[in-house]
Amino acid sequence: MKITLLALATLLFIISCKKTNDATPAFTETKINLTTHKLASFSAIKNSKYLVVFESGLGNDHTVWNNNAVASQINSNLDVLMYDRAGYGQSENGPSPRNIDRLRSELESVIDKFSNGRKVILIGHSLGGLIIRDYAVKNPLKTAALLFVDPSHEFYNRPSQAEEDMLYDASKNANGANFGGTLEAREFIEDLQYTSKLPSLPNVPVIVLTSMKVEPPHSSSEKQIFYDAHELLKNGVTDFTHIATTQSGHFIMIDEPNLVIDNFKLLISKLP
């Protein structure tokens, strides 16, 4: 099912206008030196058994997880790591193309800086869901569990070239040609083609949160297709939980932070 031009425009409006405030006094900023650029990470490390890693969606830096103290509340029990992808926030611009394969590779470098051999619990929103999905598939022995927050999925997200161009142009006009979200938008079709060829997730505990709130321009039937797309993530996964909410829009962690936090607690209760 293709997303409509209006839906894509609405999505861009959301990612451009959902401004967040950076309020992370408990997190330490560290610059991670990659071969071509530096990324800014924000961590709170107490040497817990697992490392929790947040991955933001298209157009959002790490501060989206500071809304309603989602990251801070999770940090009360476990080590937490957030970061800005290249071209976002405090991070430098990175080489093109800014596609899922590259973003996953850079996520690997960020995690390796802090994991110290520990397994990671990955939390990904929207486009970030594609990134953590690729990481888990490529690094099954390093992945303890996955929490998807209204993730993008190739079964539902099928933009035409004209729709991708519109998304790219709108981001460019709003944030500039070198903004991370602008460069990532240019790879949206290729990213969905890439993830469509990925094998199933590793057999670790997985929770998916899906927004079923019907808001223009989305219809209830479109939302059902989105839900069905998320159901496909359970292939090969023994411990799979799928939660639908009609109380939140796409940014579930902002609209219903407790839903994210409570299901994260459920996720870690499943781990040894």
Q: Say what the alpha-carbon torsion angle 95, 98, 100, 103 is, to the nearest 10 degrees.
A: 50
Reported confidence tier of residue 25, pLDDT bands at 50, 70, 90: low
Q: Which helix (H) or strand (E) holds 226?
A: helix 220-231
Q: Which positions ≥6 away from 246 have C-beta within 8 Å?
A: 212, 213, 214
Q: What is the pLDDT of residues 113-166, one digit of tens each?
A: 999 999 999 999 999 999 999 999 999 999 999 999 999 999 998 889 998 998
Instruction: Tell me the domain boundaries of the chain.
Output: 5-16+47-269
Superfamily in which the 5-16+47-269 domain is placed by CATH: Alpha/Beta hydrolase fold, catalytic domain (3.40.50.1820)
Least confident residue range of 28-32, 74-78, 137-141, 265-269: 74-78
Length of the chain, please?
Answer: 272
What six digits make up the tokens of 83?
A: 């970061």
| Alpha-carbon span 110 to 90, nearest angstrom | 14
The DSSP-derived string for 188-210 is HHHHHHHHHT--PPPSS-EEEEE
Cα–Cα distance, 239 to 147 (Å, whole number): 12
What is the value of pTM for the model shown? 0.93
DSSP 77: T
Give yes or no for a cis peptide into 217 (omega within 30° of 0).
yes
Query: Tens digits of per-residue pLDDT, 213-272?
Result: 998 777 888 899 999 999 999 999 999 999 999 999 999 999 999 999 999 999 999 999
**Strand 51-55 relative to strand 79-83, pairing:** parallel
Contact 16, 61 (CB under 8 A): no
Strand partners, 53: 81, 122
Distance separating alpha carbons of residues 86 and 107, to the nearest angstrom: 11
By the 8 A CB rule, do 86 and 106 touch?
yes
10-14, 33-37, 76-80, 144-148: least confident range: 10-14
